[in-house]
Structure 1
Amino acid sequence: MTLPDLPNQVTVPAKLDPNAAKRKALIQLISKYINPGSGSSIQFLKQRTWQLPMITLQQIIPNSPFVIVGGVATRLYMPERMTLDIDILINTQDAQQVYQNLLNANASKISNLSIPGSQWQLEDGTSLDVIEEDSEWAQNAIKSPNYAPDGSPVIQLSYLVLMKFLAGRSQDIADISRMLGSAQEVELDPVKAVITTYLPQALEDLESLIILGKLEYS
């Protein structure tokens, strides 16, 4: 099978996008070996589940806006993969209030993260990573969530893709491709707009990942 041409890749200065070289190498590797239609069934790829722990975060953190990010957030946009922790994104200015709410709910702080934020263990044993961010994109993401079937605020697809580009892990790149592979054009437009605004040097990689993701649904 002949695969569609991927967008021409351009060299981006490392200081502007430190994950660019790793991301491009991964995309090239995937495009070399991808076999459309050989993976999961279409029925599975269209499956969406939502199984959060019994504790409702809105009850623990009632006074500060947040959105769920990370692996749990992907459940709204692709088939669920196993993840044992919950990640949330909060405004830096709300951090102290959030942490006090967690202490009031008998949560225990485990450690600080390598990025601004900290890891907690909730009363039921659930691991919670709290990510602090005060950038413009984070403020917009927190103010405009999507909502899960149980009412939990989840980061929009466009900002989730941005976060995963910024994180730059292999799993994040794979998540981007799978989420965008099932997205409709009306859902892709906001993603492209957010990347254009906040990480324009990743636009060509975004287009490549959309193509690769769509091939999985062939």
Structure 2
Amino acid sequence: MHRSTLPWWREKLGRFKLCDITPALIAQYRDKLAAETYRRARPSAKRSPLKAGEQAREFKRKPNTINNYLVSLGRIFSVARREWHWITHNPMEGVAKLSAGPGRVRYLSEDERQRLLTETAKDPQLHALAVLALSTAARAGELMGLTWRDVDLKDGRVLLRKTKNAQPRVIWVHCEALRLLKEHGKMRRLDDDHVFLGATSGTRYDYHTPFKAACAAAGVIRLPLS
């Protein structure tokens, strides 16, 4: 276990009850961890290479480092569930790790998130998809393959069968995302079990065009669902 990562989680999540720590909350702090900077050296530390009055360079954590933070937290929740029976499910099961591949990772600020959701709210199906994706860290492609038979609206358990690595995984939906999913379920069709459907039978919901329009109206340059 990466013990050096635990103080960070204790500072950020220590005030929450276990039952209140959701995949969305963890994903929110994962994004904050990725956005924040840190310094590797302090002038006051022994053997510091810095001279008095000199400021250390600031760095951002790499995706692999952030994933190590997530692994440490996940192991704690695993023990809490399997050995201590303090929780019934591990909220880390619904949190995606960061890709270690090349390229700059783009995260929405809280202001961008609110502006974007204000725009997506004009289209109920788009809004349900956007809130679900942003609150669970699930990919849009995974959600587009979701069927109602894999959705438990009572407990908020959702099974994603069509994932990027072809391995099914479970995410947990809570609060606003679960409320919107229940509302969306009232409009489900009998001829197709998919959650997100197009206007005609047998077609999938084409979120690309309305989502790009919502991003443009909200002033969000990069698309978190694309």
What is the TM-score normalised by the length of structure 1?
0.27
What is the TM-score normalised by the length of structure 2?
0.26
Structure with the greater relative contact order (CA < 8 A, sep ≥ 6): 1 or 2? 1
Highest Rg: 1 or 2? 2
